[in-house]
Each structure stands twice: as structure tokens, then as C-alpha cells.
A = this chain, B = another copy of it.
Amino acid sequence: MAFSPAAKSKEELLKQFRRNEILDAARDVIGHQGVTEISMERIAQQAGVAKGTLYLYFENKDALLESALEYTYQEFMERCRSAADAATGCAAKIRAIASSIVASNAEQRAFGQALQERPELGPEGVSAFSERLREQIMPFVEFVAEIFQAGVRAGEFRAIDGMRAARLFLSLMRGLAFQQIRDPQPPDANQELDALLDIFFHGVSLGGTA
């Protein structure tokens, strides 16, 4: 009758493992078919399980996709944080994050999708879906914002608003991801990145700060 704690945790682990297998599969499918063209059938195939099994691990399709996006985001944001932590100086941290994003993007085209945040779910934010994604992403945006703030305090950056800089920076990265994904023959990502960061850091204007 009584469960041995070991057995229990083993089942827990197995469950977790299965869950992640499914999320990996979902991410792959997202990467190949885009977020909205996905069918449960296809995810099940990719994960090597039966359709019904998906419902043992996830409430429904939306929950699964949401988890898959979260999962991808988490991994990606983790990577960015590590890269930032390893760098010295705020500009360097920003560059490190940018490089991480470019690398993630190269590895996981799905990320490019995820980054675009399922805009088809509508601007109203009605769907709990996009709401929760926002919640996921906000801490990361704030993390980047703080780097900018620190840079301002450290005298590395102008007196800009951290959040705005963060958003502009991430828009830039999204645009780059977009180009790399959509362009049939995209230019070298790192060159492109350097050129864009140059503009981002120094502005387009000739005269420097007003």
C-alpha cells in the first residue's frame, strides 16, 4: 500500500522526463510548421507517443503550446543571462546577450517563431495565452533594462530610460531574427549584428548627443 519515497520520485522523474520529451517535440514542430499550423497528431508523431498520451501531460492544445513556448523561452533566457553574467561591462553584457540570441536563433529556428509571440492570438490580450507569455518575458525585459540602467549609472551609456532601451534592443534582435528566418539567402548573422549594434550604440545621427 505505502509508496516508497524512492519509487514515487522515480515516477515523478519519469513523468517530468516524458513531459520534456513532448515539449521538445512540440518545439521542433513549431520550428518546422509555425505556431498555428500545428496539429496534435503531428506533435504526437514527433514525440513518438500516441495522441491521447499528450492529454495525460497537458490539459489541452493551448496548454501544451504555452508550455512549449515557455520552455523555449526559459532556456533561451537562461542562456542570455549566463552570457551576460560572464561579461564585464554593460555594453559587453548587451553584446553577449545579442550573440546568444543570434546563436539560439541559428540553432532553433523555432525560437524565431516563439520570439514573435503568436501575434495571431489577437491584440486584445483576451486569450490567457498571450497574457501568460507576457508574464514570462517581462522579467527578462527587466533584466535587460537593468543592464542599461547600470550602464547609465556607470557612465557607459547616455541618460536613457532602461526599459525603452531594452525594448528597442529586443525589437532590433527580433528584426534580425526575422530577417535571418525569412530571407531566402540571409547575410551573415554576425556581420549583420555588428552593423546593427553599431547603429544601436552610436545612433544614426552624425553629431553625437545633442
Q: Please report A residues at the B interface, Cβ cutoff 8 Å.
A: 31-37, 91, 109, 112-113, 116-125, 130, 134, 148, 151, 155-158, 160-161, 164-165, 167-168, 170-172, 174-176, 178-179, 181-182, 184, 192, 195-196, 198-210
Min CB distance, A170 to chain B, in Å?
7
* A32 neighbours in B (Cβ, 8 Å): 122-124
Kindly report how many copies of this chain are found in the complex they form together: 4
**CB <8 Å contact, A202 and B203:** yes
**CB <8 Å contact, B168 and A175:** yes
**CB <8 Å contact, B182 and A172:** no
Min CB distance, A35 to chain B, in Å?
5
Report Cα–Cα, A209/B157, bound state, in Å: 13
Min CB distance, A134 to chain B, in Å?
7
* A195 neighbours in B (Cβ, 8 Å): 160-161, 164
* Residue in B112, B123, B170, B178 whose beta carbon sits within 8 Å of that of A113 in the complex: B123
* A161 neighbours in B (Cβ, 8 Å): 195
